[in-house]
């Protein structure tokens, strides 16, 4: 199909997404122009910060791609104190970030649940309720998600990493702790509770095909996500998947595919929040700016205390581990400016898609929109 006609369609089939993932040259330019136009129309030239606090690299999972996997013995483990976490949150508040993201390895325990509740309460108190809070701490029971939601968390990112169950099983141990269906059930629980719900995938994994990536995008659309964080797969030397590194796309190929995935998703889901992943900068010094130009609208300055940053290494060559929180902010401001965009301070930057989706649900609940019953 002619690329111009394809880009003017309202929805894409899997085959059409694969076609878009294969574009090169002038056709790729047209794809990126279209996604930039969609972003400008529905989001504007705006970018919101999420101050990232990686508060612990202790993890109960053993995912085969991840540098902080439980089985990695070549890693110094850390767990920030509550005071250190609150000091980072106060930095974000004092610098008018609007939002923070609390991220850690996956731990399920009553003590962890209570600790996160306490942190949420304290962060709300120190910011007079003005700091928005995203959580990214993995799979939990629905009642735990509800407690955290009630304590003040309102966004949750749970990356599925691949929506092809066969591929998912190849990049995780085959046991009950790494169950594909539970991942999906957790995403559904988050959405049902009322979180702005985000997911994402790694791009360029071993065994992954364009068919898989097209399926990932269609899953996100069907699931009706509010936000997405996806980036290129970058291998880590202390993981089992490193044995397949000679079979991977070159890094620039993974980078190119990631930009195409962001562009296509922006066209498919016009008003969601899309993160410009830090991993892009590990491949291209201006990788995040390129993502912002063609569709991303969220950046995550790292405000974790500097001495811990190098130990939260999900992949090798993680950038910005030596920057102070102040340096990271200044750097990202300059990057956003290069991408002809503007950082919006003092706002949560909630997903417009979430607001529209929840509004529609509320109207239906009130009976303003009635879905006709199917007649036998």
Domain ranges across the chain: 3-365
Instruction: Say which CATH topology domain 3-365 has.
Output: TIM Barrel (3.20.20)
Q: Please name which of 78, 83, 81, 84 lies closest in space to residue 58, comparing C-alpha atoms.
A: 78
Q: What is the pLDDT of residue 299?
A: 95
This prediction's pTM: 0.92
Tell me: pLDDT of 372 over 60.
no
What number is the average pLDDT over the span 132-161?
98
pLDDT one-digit tens code per residue, 207-264? 999 999 999 999 999 999 999 999 999 999 999 999 999 999 999 999 999 999 999 9
Condensed to tens digits (0 to 9), the pLDDT of residues 80-95 reads 999 999 999 999 999 9
Q: Any idea what DSSP says for residue 340?
A: T
Least confident of 16-20, 183-187, 314-318: 314-318
| Closest to 77 in 3D by CA, of 108, 117, 104 | 104
Give me the phi and psi of 225, to 5 degrees please.
-65, 160
- The two tokens of residue 236 are 């880590």
DSSP state of 176: G
Q: What is the mean pLDDT of residues 265-281?
A: 96
pLDDT at residue 323, rounded to an integer? 64
Is the CB of residue 225 less than 8 Å from the CB of residue 266? no
Which pLDDT belongs to residue 366? 39
Q: Which residues contact 72 (CB under 8 A, 6 or more apart)?
A: 238, 239
For residue 373, what is the DSSP state?
Answer: P
pLDDT at 375 over 90: no
pLDDT value for 330: 73
CB contact at 8 A, 137 and 107:
yes
């Amino acid at each position: 199909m002619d690329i111009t006609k394809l880009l003017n369609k309202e929805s894409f089939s899997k085959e059409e997404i694969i076609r878009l993932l294969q574009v090169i040259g002038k056709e790729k330019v047209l794809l990126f122009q279209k996604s930039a136009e969609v972003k400008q129309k529905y989001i504007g030239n705006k970018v919101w910060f999420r101050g990232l606090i990686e508060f612990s690299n202790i993890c109960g999972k053993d995912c085969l791609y991840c540098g902080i996997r439980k089985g990695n013995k070549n890693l110094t483990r850390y767990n920030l104190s509550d005071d250190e976490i609150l000091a980072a949150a106060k930095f974000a508040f004092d610098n008018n970030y609007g939002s923070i993201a609390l991220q850690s390895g996956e731990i399920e325990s009553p003590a962890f649940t209570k600790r996160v509740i306490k942190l949420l309460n304290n962060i709300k108190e120190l910011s007079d309720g003005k700091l928005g809070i995203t959580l990214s701490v993995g799979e939990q029971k629905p009642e735990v998600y509800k407690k955290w939601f009630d304590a003040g968390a309102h966004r949750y990112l749970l990356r599925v990493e691949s929506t092809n169950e066969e591929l998912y099983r190849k990049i995780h141990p085959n046991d009950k702790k790494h169950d594909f269906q539970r991942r999906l059930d957790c995403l559904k629980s988050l959405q049902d509770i009322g979180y702005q719900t985000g997911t994402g995938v790694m791009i360029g994994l071993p065994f992954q095909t364009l068919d898989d990536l097209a399926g990932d995008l269609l899953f996100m659309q069907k699931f009706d996500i509010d936000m997405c964080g996806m980036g290129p797969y970058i291998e880590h030397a202390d993981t089992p998947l490193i044995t397949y590194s000679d079979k991977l796309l070159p890094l620039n190929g993974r980078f190119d595919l990631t930009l195409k995935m962001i562009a296509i998703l922006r066209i498919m889901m016009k008003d969601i929040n899309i993160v410009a992943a830090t991993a892009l900068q590990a491949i291209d010094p201006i990788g995040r700016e390129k993502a912002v130009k063609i569709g991303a609208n969220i950046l995550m300055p790292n405000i974790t205390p500097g001495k811990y940053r190098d130990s939260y290494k999900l992949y090798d060559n993680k950038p910005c581990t030596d920057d102070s929180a102040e340096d990271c902010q200044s750097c990202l401001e300059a990057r956003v400016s290069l991408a002809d965009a503007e950082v919006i301070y003092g706002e949560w930057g909630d997903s417009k898609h979430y607001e529209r989706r929840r509004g529609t649900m509320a109207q239906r609940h009130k009976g303003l929109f009635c879905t006709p019953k199917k007649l036998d």
